[in-house]
Amino acid sequence: MKAFFISIPHSGERVPEETTWLHGLPEPVLMSDVDRYVDRLYQPVVKDLNLDCVITQWHRYVVDLNRLPDDIDADSVIGSRNPSGKFTRGLHWVKTMNGVRLMPKPISMDLHNQLVDRYFEPFHVDVRAVYDSFRKQGAQKIYHLDAHSMPSLGTSAHRDPGEKRADVVVSDWEDRSCEKSYLELVCDAYKRTGLSVKVNWPYVGGRVTETYGKPELGQHAIQVELNRGLYMNEETKQLIPDQAKALSTKISAAIRHIHTHLPDL
């Protein structure tokens, strides 16, 4: 048995009734920063290998699971100690990556706490449960792949504005969230399928890799971003079935390669 699992924190599309500012938004706006379809792309190999996989049904604009509860500012939550603009795309997104306003005004601290309790904590409870399960089975090392997607071109809000991106970006929090051999294995796995791979550019990792990637404790977490231009229309946010099927096959091959070459428990 392998101590390996996948988390997918941004593919959820459900918007709860409490987040009224997100109701009625046009689909291209509401879905502009969602990792739409990533769960579908990984689903075949997750099923075939019977992998643990932690997924949420909730939209990232409600609570961004790749942030921390304190990643809020005066624009998103009343009473936050962080100044305006500190966390425009923090736990609660004030604007989309393309600058479209989402929150007309900050929410109350009470509502913030409710959203954390109802939609943020359950996901992370499940992630911690996977780690605990592997530990109880005697795993000395646990390997975690946090799956995401990204625009094909960097926007003005990114580190690489206007830059055409690789097919896959692999991030290890700049050498801090996993051992080097795991980074090399993951990069090689995706490259073997014919996909181009970049490391730590323009993403270095998020709060998931920062929180759970503790190599000194035997926890090795890595972030993998897929280029959305490979499988969807980025303007309409609709899937391109043939391209998605081809990419899912490559993802399956990459995950199988990783799974095969990781040590057993």
Question: Quick check: pTM over 0.85?
Answer: yes
93 and 133 Cβ atoms separated by less than 8 Å: no
What is the structure's pLDDT at 81?
Answer: 96
Q: Which amino acid is at 129?
A: A
Q: Please identify which residue in the block is written with the tokens 């005697």.
A: 138
What is the structure's pLDDT at 156?
Answer: 85
Is the pLDDT reported for residue 227 higher than 90? yes
Rounded mean pLDDT of 11-37? Answer: 97
Is the pLDDT reported for residue 220 higher than 90? yes
| CA 247 to chain centroid | 18
| CA 59 to chain centroid | 12
101 CB-contact burial (10 Å; exposed 0-12 / middle 13-18 / buried 19+): exposed
What is the structure's pLDDT at 41?
Answer: 98
Domain ranges across the chain: 4-261
Rounded mean pLDDT of 6-16? Answer: 98
5 and 130 Cβ atoms separated by less than 8 Å: yes
Q: Which amino acid is at 109?
A: M
| CB neighbourhood size of 2 (10 A) | 18
Residue pLDDT, tens place only, 27-82: 999 999 999 999 999 999 999 999 999 999 999 999 999 999 999 999 999 999 99
% of the chain exceeding 70 in pLDDT: 100
| CB neighbourhood size of 241 (10 A) | 9
Average pLDDT of the chain is 97
Rounded mean pLDDT of 145-153? Answer: 97
Residues in a beta bridge with 161: 154
% of the chain exceeding 90 in pLDDT: 97
Q: Please identify which residue in the block is written with the tokens 């035997």.
A: 218
Is the pLDDT reported for residue 10 higher than 90? yes
Residue pLDDT, tens place only, 158-209: 999 999 999 999 999 999 999 999 999 999 999 999 999 999 999 999 999 9
Please tell me the distance from the alpha carbon of residue 144 to that of residue 241, in angstroms, as a whole number: 28
Confidence of residue 211 (pLDDT cuts 50, 70, 90): very high
Token output for 59: 């939209």
Please tell me the distance from the alpha carbon of residue 53 to that of residue 130, in angstroms, as a whole number: 9
Alpha helices in the chain (DSSP H): 27-30, 38-49, 109-115, 121-136, 180-192, 207-212, 241-261
What is the structure's pLDDT at 76?
Answer: 98
What is the structure's pLDDT at 229?
Answer: 98
What is the structure's pLDDT at 157?
Answer: 84
CATH annotation of 4-261:
3.40.630.40
